[in-house]
Structure 1
């Protein structure tokens, strides 16, 4: 009989404790969390297993025991800046600002500063950044209005709300390397000018108590420069240590000069302290007058009699309808947990406070006004976390996670590693009702955590496809990745759009310059068929061709990412794994051909070549010839020799050759897409022409040094021993390019999405395959039988040794051997390694095109540093 685990109020008590363990998911797909016990930030790239730690500022490295783990971790939208706050243990709190280098794991401390005790950071928000993109179900992207105040002279610009109810602006002025900051009070109307002293004073606290801000939310909206701040405070008693005369009225023979016992200065537990029933509201404006920035604050009437035990506090904003900025709205969403004197299950309550903007003609042209609040109580389950907004800005929904109070347990004889503890749903804003057009997804957690702890903090991935949760345990930094609800199939059909929502999200991520790892994670799962993957990618290519045409490498990069990670997550015995492996390697080769062409073009000045880069161009030529050899051999092995009675292959290999039995090879193999996709074939012809032109250039030179003579002989040997007549093969490619020029764009997109020639493409392919098998431009003996495969020892030529080096690691950009003379880079998308431009033995200035590879791999993936 199945058992049931029934929870108690103590299981959910960590949900109302502040501050919570932070978690951040950056736009480069790096998940950052706090170490359980030490003041250290841990980072992990999703969806690879790459993990690293951020370097600590000087005060932490010198005395780590003086600080607690960070309570705030936030990354800027461009992924260049990271901020964290470390509370002090009886000391001032520490703020730190990091700057990221080219690699996603290359972080350096830019600035650090201190905040006094009881004045630490509570909330943080980045200003500025690029305008956001949104997309409708038909696939039309829209650029949204700027959000929040403009920051024309500062980057980055960070605003902080502190425990003493102040708002700080921390920024770096352009062309200045020193961090600046100025602040204003959030409890009274005030104006502060940059680089001038702030004269604003806090209202006096009660005589026997002080209010400390324990939770805050910062909100900005589209097309408006206003910053709304909501704060919840806690009242701490002030204990007086001055003894009264009555305390020492008895004559006990003790000195009256002795100090009173201060061992119980704060005997009251933090959770038993009074929580302010109000939520303070403030409206802040950050402006630039042409010389200095001005920070002004105007207080709003507080939201009175809000429930106690605040769980979540966040702002949700939606873009203006039809571009009408006056229709902008902002909603403050708060959730509360009532433990009912700890005698029963807690009751979850959620409130939505709508703020509407009214344009006036007076001095204050825009006024934000609080409307009637909306309340909802959850009779079953406990609300754990509220995260907004929804998958697209047009959706007036927020994510909410609800935990069950009782969980059925499987029989002991059934070993279950994961179990459902609740569900994820979407709530409409502002009425807080369930949105039935979205599916409900279970919250899956490890079975061993049941009855021990529940996740206390969540973060949504940049593509709004996954959710990461962290646990409150001080003994581990465990994370859990969940799927987010998706639009139901019925709602998707009702919208009239044939475009899968996942394809829309991938396009938005691409044009927003965000990582797509969290989105292609779905495509890489074995549960998603290759047909479904091809369908999604087809729609992605269609939309990209419509809005970002002529970016062939960008589309291939998504193909590499989707299929390569599928290989890593699929069993080696599954046939789909071999297919996916061939697909991503073919797509990567297509990108590499375009890269080689760019390098040749960058190193060529008319008919002249940069002699100092001759060995780099030889490496490129070798890689191009190896690729073409592979293609040619596949064509020969796939040809139907029965069609040619004069086939030289019969005489060459004899009756026992295995090639005779290979006419059953299918022509839908991914490698053949090189020959039937017009763009891929065109790039291949250009690359072959570069090799031929470079060979002619070296042939016409009179070597003046031993190095130039050696390079000349190596390249000539590469071409001669390849078994390919470049001119004759180019004539075959030219005829093929003419025959495939009539393919429709839609057919080409579907062929590239599945990375296999269509049936009509295979007709042209069959002709060129049989033509190659009979062509005198191909020397089959040299193609299939290499000298370095038969000879081992002193008799090897330099070319033979270079050919055997193919088994070693190659630079994904230069195609040369990795020399390991400098710390290299590793691509998180394709796994390629590179030392391009980092070799200290080759000092030179990188061109603009080479600098683009310094930022990203040829496949478009981000770099990470290879441990030295």
Structure 2
């Protein structure tokens, strides 16, 4: 039996209310939202559960009741700055600029300033960001696009604000000057304002009995053009409006109560108390630098007439330049409207697209912007809830729209927490506003208990254009929902077509743009996605990185760690896949660590000498390297007894791209086990040999060194004990590795990428590996008794041969991910959001010496490429 649900006009009324709750998704994958009741910004890292709050500026910390929750939140493209505007409760509004430290959750207030009532911020945009990347969907060739908007050669950051009194402010920090500067120009009349000079322009007076307040604005910039287009929608308020005092109330209950006057702002924001203007005002602004000072000039364009009442969304869409013509001279203004008619039936939703073309002036110079066309579209049946701009990095420009159903069927047998589709997300073409048939549709899911009653009031697209974060109009808490965005229907994760998967293109673009890939690898988490498809996507990513990014091996390992570790943490239905993914990401992390250790040894060596103050750090690295080699060698010995009996059809590596069957792992000691990638991938094997060479040379150096202090003598004895009791003769083992490298270097790059994507040696790779495994088993360079039986294991009874993986997990858990030293948990440290590794190096207050180059290189990012968050002692 099924029940019917129906929406009323009141369910969609929050879509028309201002100001709406803000939401921002930064390029480091942090989602910023406003607290429901307090002037507080809440930050959540996606897709982990880490949450933190931004510190208060001084006026808010002294009195939380003075300001409302923020209505504008925007993060700079480089994730170093954050801006927010807090409306005042009967007071001036407050603007605040935060600066981020090394960690994701380390923010400090840089500047704060006030804007008068009725002059609050309604729109904000950053200038001077890094140039964007576009990538060809068929060949995968990346292209860096021209810069957008005016250049800012002497300021960073540079932020432009549009305020309620129709002015544009430029807020910036000059290089080498710590104080924030700002100057502004009018958007209602032509004006020219010079930096650090007084503004002598005269504002146009409003009508005698009313005043116009800007309630919504959009800021647009285009490629290879220095102009800024601003579109504004205003609301008319009567000047005679006043707040009633307690004496004006006719009700007197005779109670001894002292009523405080309502601290309502001068101009009300309720739509019922005022009329919304039916026009859209357009202004053009130029920001230029004359070599000494910045100059701001504005020009007013003809207004757009007969724009319907109740504006919902207003945004500029910029066309991506083609490879043949990297200059774009067109912009499109997209506006959506909602009409409640007489509040007796469901509202009508519509959209308009206004196209602007820059004409050429005489002499080949660029002329002014003019509106060329206007296209209308109505949405019936259904409700147009959200409009989000698509960043055109792969195909032509467009916008995402979410269309909500107004009625539907609700199955009674569904559980309370189940979700049901209440609409769909689609791509609209610009400027004709038709559905793009080359893109699929994604369902909009909602809990059954809220069907038809809760519609999100704001949304933001993830940096990788893969997910949509929506905010709901809850008065008590900041509720959000994550929806999956549509993808091109011609690109999917199947390899039969031979095309590059859309997800692989997105990951490569994010890497080139120095953005987080958390929102993209999130698509690889569901247990319904087999490991073969994860390896397929990574294979295409590695192919493009090898083709266009030199030295991309560590980048490949970093994305491997992120993809498989996230799957390990969130996949619960398939135990075999979860265990396999866990071994894969740890193996990839070990490969990165080996490369890191080599970099540290190189930095700590001055010719043939070693820095004496770093002896213990190098001993930690040597201990970790020997421990990893022991694990690899023991796996080889355990696999040598039955390596010759492995059937040629039982390799997971060959199944990966030759059949539809899942990855096999019939025997944990088979030669397709991920740990053997250290020996069959040419770059990993070379790094491992270099690391062993560093340990061997450092040991010889300490052996020939005459200790002059107790500390140097102790460090010498510790390292010699580590090497002597490891059960490994380093020169003898290096000969076996040298013979193996001669065979491994014959493998082609494509075969290497396929094996690394699945972290599983292919059948052809297992042929020389089998020879190496058998050589290790018979070689006198390995002392099996010392390898498998340690003295401390004889005491506590632990059998190392029963669980080789447990020691690998303990390495990451109890060791510093950078220095490989033991974590002391006595100082505030950092934790990587990608691999979960912790680091305390350089955080201890007892460390007074300056950091080395290798310590500075991982100050902002972990060795795997992940960003840091703070951890308490």
TM-score clears 0.5: yes
Separation (CA, whole Å) in 1 of partners of 2:494 and 2:79: 36
Separation (CA, whole Å) in 2 of partners of 1:267 and 1:779: 83
The structure with the largest alpha-carbon Rg is 1
Per-residue Cα deviation, 1:291-321 (whole angstroms, up to 9, x for no partner): 0000000000000110001010000001234
After superposing the two structures, state which structure 1 stretch, 745-754 or 449-458, moved more: 449-458
Superposition deviation, residue 365 in structure 1:
3.1
Extract unaligned runs of 5+ from structure 2: 249-260, 646-665, 798-806
SS in 2 for 1:21: coil
Superposition deviation, residue 494 in structure 1:
14
SS in 2 for 1:205: coil
* Match in the other structure for 2:724: 720
After superposing the two structures, state which structure 1 stretch, 25-34 or 339-348, moved more: 339-348
- Asked whether the equivalents of residues 419 and 446 of structure 1 are also in contact (C-alpha less than 8 Å), the reply is yes
* Match in the other structure for 1:9: 9
* Match in the other structure for 1:852: 857
* Match in the other structure for 2:255: none
* Match in the other structure for 2:804: none
- Asked whether the equivalents of residues 390 and 399 of structure 1 are also in contact (C-alpha less than 8 Å), the reply is no
- Asked whether the equivalents of residues 35 and 478 of structure 2 are also in contact (C-alpha less than 8 Å), the reply is yes
* Match in the other structure for 2:103: 103
After superposing the two structures, state which structure 1 stretch, 81-90 or 365-374, moved more: 365-374
* Match in the other structure for 1:74: 74
SS in 2 for 1:764: helix
* Match in the other structure for 1:255: none
Separation (CA, whole Å) in 2 of partners of 1:44 and 1:563: 22
Extract unaligned runs of 5+ from structure 1: 248-259, 645-661, 794-801
Matched, 1:822 2:827: yes
Per-residue Cα deviation, 1:44-70 (whole angstroms, up to 9, x for no partner): 000111100000100000011000000
TM-score between both structures, scaled by the size of structure 1: 0.92
Separation (CA, whole Å) in 1 of partners of 2:431 and 2:526: 36
Decide which of 693, 702, 711 is 1:698's aligned counterpart.
Answer: 702
* Match in the other structure for 2:359: 358
* Match in the other structure for 1:861: 866
* Match in the other structure for 1:387: 388
Aligned length: 828
Matched, 1:178 2:179: yes
* Match in the other structure for 1:292: 293
Distance 1:619 1:584, change over 3 A: same
Separation (CA, whole Å) in 2 of partners of 1:268 and 1:853: 49
- Asked whether the equivalents of residues 788 and 803 of structure 1 are also in contact (C-alpha less than 8 Å), the reply is no
After superposing the two structures, state which structure 1 stretch, 603-612 or 106-115, moved more: 603-612
Per-residue Cα deviation, 1:680-716 (whole angstroms, up to 9, x for no partner): 0100000001111111111111111111111111111
Separation (CA, whole Å) in 1 of partners of 2:736 and 2:31: 50
- Asked whether the equivalents of residues 39 and 86 of structure 1 are also in contact (C-alpha less than 8 Å), the reply is yes
* Match in the other structure for 1:589: 590
* Match in the other structure for 2:141: 140
- Asked whether the equivalents of residues 133 and 144 of structure 1 are also in contact (C-alpha less than 8 Å), the reply is yes
Superposition deviation, residue 663 in structure 1:
9.0
Per-residue Cα deviation, 1:462-519 (whole angstroms, up to 9, x for no partner): 0000010011111111110010001113799999861111111100100110001111
Separation (CA, whole Å) in 2 of partners of 1:602 and 1:627: 22
After superposing the two structures, state which structure 1 stretch, 719-728 or 356-365, moved more: 356-365
- Asked whether the equivalents of residues 52 and 105 of structure 1 are also in contact (C-alpha less than 8 Å), the reply is yes
Separation (CA, whole Å) in 2 of partners of 1:520 and 1:107: 27
Distance 1:757 1:466, change over 3 A: same
Decide which of 785, 788, 792 is 1:788's aligned counterpart.
Answer: 792
* Match in the other structure for 1:653: none
Superposition deviation, residue 344 in structure 1:
1.0
Separation (CA, whole Å) in 2 of partners of 1:299 and 1:346: 33
Superposition deviation, residue 791 in structure 1:
2.1
* Match in the other structure for 1:319: 320
Separation (CA, whole Å) in 1 of partners of 2:416 and 2:266: 51
Matched, 1:710 2:714: yes
Superposition deviation, residue 820 in structure 1:
2.4
- Asked whether the equivalents of residues 821 and 840 of structure 1 are also in contact (C-alpha less than 8 Å), the reply is no
1:715-864 to 2 correspondence within 5 Å?
A: 715-791=719-795, 809-864=814-869
Separation (CA, whole Å) in 2 of partners of 1:47 and 1:185: 42
Per-residue Cα deviation, 1:160-211 (whole angstroms, up to 9, x for no partner): 0000000000000000000000000000000000001111222111111110
Separation (CA, whole Å) in 2 of partners of 1:545 and 1:234: 55
Per-residue Cα deviation, 1:400-449 (whole angstroms, up to 9, x for no partner): 11111113111156545212221100000000000111111111122233
* Match in the other structure for 1:669: 673
SS in 1 for 2:558: helix
Superposition deviation, residue 364 in structure 1:
6.9
Distance 1:664 1:473, change over 3 A: closer
- Asked whether the equivalents of residues 491 and 502 of structure 2 are also in contact (C-alpha less than 8 Å), the reply is no
Superposition deviation, residue 394 in structure 1:
3.8
* Match in the other structure for 2:685: 681
Superposition deviation, residue 393 in structure 1:
5.8
* Match in the other structure for 2:32: 32
Separation (CA, whole Å) in 1 of partners of 2:700 and 2:842: 27
SS in 1 for 2:291: coil
Superposition deviation, residue 842 in structure 1:
2.6
Separation (CA, whole Å) in 2 of partners of 1:495 and 1:383: 36
Per-residue Cα deviation, 1:503-558 (whole angstroms, up to 9, x for no partner): 11100100110001111111222221111111111111111011112221111000
Separation (CA, whole Å) in 2 of partners of 1:449 and 1:407: 12
- Asked whether the equivalents of residues 339 and 345 of structure 1 are also in contact (C-alpha less than 8 Å), the reply is yes
Distance 1:641 1:546, change over 3 A: closer
* Match in the other structure for 1:191: 192
- Asked whether the equivalents of residues 224 and 327 of structure 2 are also in contact (C-alpha less than 8 Å), the reply is no
- Asked whether the equivalents of residues 390 and 400 of structure 2 are also in contact (C-alpha less than 8 Å), the reply is yes
Separation (CA, whole Å) in 2 of partners of 1:429 and 1:100: 36
CA-based RMSD of the aligned residues comes to 2.6
Distance 1:228 1:851, change over 3 A: same
Separation (CA, whole Å) in 2 of partners of 1:734 and 1:240: 87
- Asked whether the equivalents of residues 416 and 449 of structure 2 are also in contact (C-alpha less than 8 Å), the reply is no
Per-residue Cα deviation, 1:582-630 (whole angstroms, up to 9, x for no partner): 1000000000000001111111111111111111111100000000000
* Match in the other structure for 2:801: none
Separation (CA, whole Å) in 2 of partners of 1:754 and 1:494: 15
Separation (CA, whole Å) in 2 of partners of 1:81 and 1:266: 31
Separation (CA, whole Å) in 1 of partners of 2:566 and 2:492: 30
- Asked whether the equivalents of residues 319 and 328 of structure 2 are also in contact (C-alpha less than 8 Å), the reply is no
1:602-613 to 2 correspondence within 5 Å?
A: 602-613=603-614
SS in 2 for 1:3: strand
- Asked whether the equivalents of residues 31 and 44 of structure 2 are also in contact (C-alpha less than 8 Å), the reply is yes
TM-score between both structures, scaled by the size of structure 2: 0.91
* Match in the other structure for 2:599: 598
Matched, 1:301 2:302: yes
Matched, 1:126 2:126: yes
Separation (CA, whole Å) in 2 of partners of 1:392 and 1:90: 44
Separation (CA, whole Å) in 2 of partners of 1:764 and 1:803: 26
Separation (CA, whole Å) in 2 of partners of 1:779 and 1:817: 27
Distance 1:494 1:563, change over 3 A: closer
Distance 1:2 1:836, change over 3 A: same
* Match in the other structure for 2:329: 328
SS in 2 for 1:373: strand
Separation (CA, whole Å) in 2 of partners of 1:193 and 1:858: 46
Separation (CA, whole Å) in 1 of partners of 2:594 and 2:394: 39
SS in 2 for 1:791: helix
Separation (CA, whole Å) in 1 of partners of 2:325 and 2:552: 34
* Match in the other structure for 1:518: 519
1:230-249 to 2 correspondence within 5 Å?
A: 230-239=231-240
1:153-164 to 2 correspondence within 5 Å?
A: 153-164=154-165
Separation (CA, whole Å) in 1 of partners of 2:211 and 2:810: 72
Separation (CA, whole Å) in 2 of partners of 1:562 and 1:754: 11
